[in-house]
Amino acid sequence: MPTTEPNDQHPTAEGRFASTHWSVVLAAARTASPEAEAALEKLCVTYWYPLYAYLRRSGHAPHEAEDLTQDFFASRIVTKRIFQGIQPGAGQFRSWLLTSLQNMVKNEWEKARAVKRGGTQPHLPLDFQSAEGRYVAEPSHNLTPEKLYERSWVLTLLDLTVDQLQEKYRQDDKTVLFDELKLFLPGEHSTRSYAEVAARLGKSEDAIKMAISRLRREYGQFLKAEVKRMSVNAGEGDDELRGLLNALGD
């Protein structure tokens, strides 16, 4: 298997490694192209849950958190109100997103409460049916809303990385291999030995060890690539990654 960096050598339909999150935001703000709109919607659908978790930890009831999250994307993102005067050097993407939500809650929610749920606002396909279950399943801890937002963002990022890696293996016609090896990725706890996996796949144990090492290396490459997309400057990706992973230990 080639061990190329996850860049344009492995393009996807969304071109997920071709741009930063800031460039997606700015493109959507400045153009009305279907491609820019689709990329922005995909970004919102990927990273909405940390905002929901923040709102729940801030004391909002489930239905209020749903309304606020949907209203944020519908009235601020889809309508592009949020992009007025925005500059990519404003800070980290995730921090900008949270600050924007906080400003909306502070300044606009009382007005928005007068509008019935569903209303005339455009909606994004956010999976609120699973949101409260995910929130209730959060570990028992005393994290502040801001810290929980950071933690939820990291877990969303890790899930996205696994999904991207799985898609790469699918495109390489190695789905079975990925399914057998994914439990050896960081954060997972496999109960199978290398010998068991080797027997299941009809390979030698040394071959499985090499395949797992390669998978972990690719996982790290995909994770770093996604973190760089959230950064203002390309050189700050490593610091950003360390900061995000530290959030899991808080």
Q: Quick one: how far is CA 52 from the chain centroid?
A: 13
Contact of 230 with 21, CB cutoff 8 Å: yes
Q: What is the pLDDT of residue 2?
A: 39
pLDDT digits (tens, 9 = 90+) for 6-41: 443 333 333 433 467 777 777 777 777 777 777 777
Question: Nearest CA to 217 among 249, 239, 188, 184?
Answer: 184
**How many residues are given for the chain?**
250
Question: Which pTM was predicted?
Answer: 0.70
Say whether pLDDT at 104 is over 80.
Answer: yes
**pLDDT over threshold 70, residue 146:** yes
Please say if the pLDDT value at position 128 is more than 80. Answer: no
DSSP state of 72: I
**What mean pLDDT is predicted for residues 49-75?**
88
State residue 171's pLDDT score: 96
Q: What are phi and psi of 15, to 5 degrees?
A: 60, 45
Indicate the Cα dihedral angle 22, 25, 26, 28, nearest 10°: 160
Q: Which amino acid is at 53?
A: A
Q: What pLDDT shows up at residue 76?
A: 67
